[in-house]
Amino acid sequence: MKDSSSLHAGKHKNPWVKLIRSALLYIAIALAIWGWVALFSPAHVSDITKTVYLTFSKVIKIIIAVTLGIGLLQVWVTPEQISRILGKEAGWRGIILASTIPLILGGSLFVILPLVKALREKGARLAACIAFISAWSGKAPLLPLEIEFLGLPFGVLRLVLTIPFALVTGLIGEMVLERLGGESPKEIS
Amino acid sequence: MKLDSGWIYLLIAGILIVISLIKDTGKTKKAFVTSAKVALTVFPVLFMIFVMMGFLESFVSKQTIASWFGPNHSFLGIIYGELLGSFAMIEPAAVFPFAGFLKLNGAGYGAVIGFVMSAMLIGVTHMPLEGQLFGVRFMVVRNLITFLLILLMGIVFMGVL
């Protein structure tokens, strides 16, 4: 009980505390792996150090640029703005917009799911909601990173295919759910 | 001399920041705060992923990775990639470095796209939230359809790339 209330308060008062806590957790896991190798297989420590160093130096500039870009995107194009645009659109246009606009959104599914829930409550149809979630995976802001690791053809093909992918998941999802009788069982809140 | 693409991206980001500053200083400051939060989220995860990549490189042979995810295992490779992605529990930004690692170690494009798409869209960690927000039926249907369509996307990727 105490935990959840302090977490809740932390969310409102200081988001940094939570961020720093999870950052330290990841660093601790990484160091634990490193330490384990140092203890049991010291010969491999330099291999791991080399991989970490080489990969970081390869992507550090891209990641800084992407991070700055996401910051700008979040303030100039907010998810709320997008949901406002989508909220107005019904029918086919809405589904097509839902399959394309979220490509430029950042964040994780933990942000996207509540946003889509809000869209649903504003009257967006099921197909648009599912398409929205799928289209978000296009992750256009991360494209520079994707190209660096997987090549230009991969990045472009994935981005382009994400649109029909989102459209089809949305339409099939809606069809199946409606045949089953809607998205409920309604949650008890 | 080969031009480092990182500088180009930084230059573009710099130009956008200048434009943003001219238009609205307050908003731009907010953007910097957001960027700092994103950086604080992404860098430690990347650090962990890179250490894990080094670890796997040292202890798991290329042949092993290729035999699970390799192009010879085309169809099963996509499914293995999807299963790995569904349970990977990693940040979107860390998905690509790890996918690149799989590719370098002999995984086929089908398995790589299976991993990337399911790591973003299926992740088992999101299911409780999705079930709570939309109902269990929605959660199951969406994840199943997504899983099947990623399989299809994997087949397209293997054919095209």
> Could you tell me the residue ranges of all domains in chain A?
2-75, 78-180
Instruction: Print the domain residue range for B8.
Output: 1-59
Residue-wise pLDDT for B75-112, tens only, equals 899 999 999 999 887 788 889 999 999 999 989 999 99
Angle between helices A152-180 and B109-121 (to 10 degrees): 50
Size of interface A-B (CB pairs under 8 A): 236
Q: Do B46 and B94 belong to one domain?
A: no
Task: Give the list of residues 6+ apart from residue A125 with CB closer than 8 angstroms, or none.
Answer: A90, A94, A95, A174
Q: Do B69 and B82 belong to one domain?
A: yes
Two structure tokens written together for B151? 């399989």
Question: Residue A1 pLDDT more than 60?
Answer: no
Question: Residue A188 pLDDT more than 50?
Answer: no
Q: Do B47 and B65 belong to one domain?
A: no
Please tell me if residue A15 touches chain B, with a CB cutoff of 8 Å: yes
d(CA B22, CA A100): 29
d(CA A99, CA A36): 45
Residue-wise pLDDT for B26-58, tens only, equals 999 999 999 999 899 889 988 998 998 899 888
3-state SS, one letter per residue, for B16-30: HHHHHHHHCHHHHHH
Better-scored residue on pLDDT, A119 or B36: B36
Residues of chain B with Cβ-Cβ distance to A187 below 8 Å are 131-133, 135
Residues of chain A with Cβ-Cβ distance to B17 below 8 Å are 68, 72
Q: Do B6 and B48 belong to one domain?
A: yes
Q: Do B78 and B44 belong to one domain?
A: no
Residue-wise pLDDT for A53-88, tens only, equals 998 888 899 999 999 998 998 888 877 777 777 766
Mutate to test the interface with A, among B82, B138, B150 (most CBs of A within 10 A): B138
Q: Which residue in the set B5, B36, B100 is minimally distant from A149, CB to CB?
A: B100
pTM for this entry: 0.85
Please tell me if residue A77 touches chain B, with a CB cutoff of 8 Å: no
Nearest CA in chain A to B27: A75
ipTM summary value: 0.86
> In this complex, do B135 and A187 lie within 8 Å of one another by their Cβ atoms?
yes
Total number of domains in chain B? 2
Q: CA B46 → CA A72, A73, B52, B88, distances in Å?
A: 22, 22, 10, 13
Q: Do B79 and B153 belong to one domain?
A: yes
Q: Looking at chain B, which runs of residues are DSSP E strands? A: none
Q: Which residue in the set A67, A142, A147 is minimally distant from B39, CB to CB?
A: A67
Q: Do B3 and B74 belong to one domain?
A: no
> In this complex, do B20 and A158 lie within 8 Å of one another by their Cβ atoms?
no
Please tell me if residue A40 touches chain B, with a CB cutoff of 8 Å: no
